[in-house]
Amino acid sequence: MNESERAKKLLAEAANCDPAAIPDDVRIGRFERWDSLAHLRLVLGIETQIGRQLDADESVRIETLADIAALLTPAR
Domain extents for the chain?
3-72
User: How does residue 36 score in pLDDT terms, banded at 50, 70 and 90?
Assistant: very high
Rounded Cα gap, residues 19 and 8, in angstroms: 6
DSSP 40: H
pLDDT computed for residue 71 by the predictor: 96
User: How does residue 1 score in pLDDT terms, banded at 50, 70 and 90?
Assistant: confident
Return the CATH number of the domain spanning residue range 3-72.
Answer: 1.10.1200.10
Taking residues 13-33, report their average pLDDT: 95
Q: Check pLDDT > 70 for residue 76.
A: no
User: How does residue 60 score in pLDDT terms, banded at 50, 70 and 90?
Assistant: very high
pTM over 0.85? The answer is yes
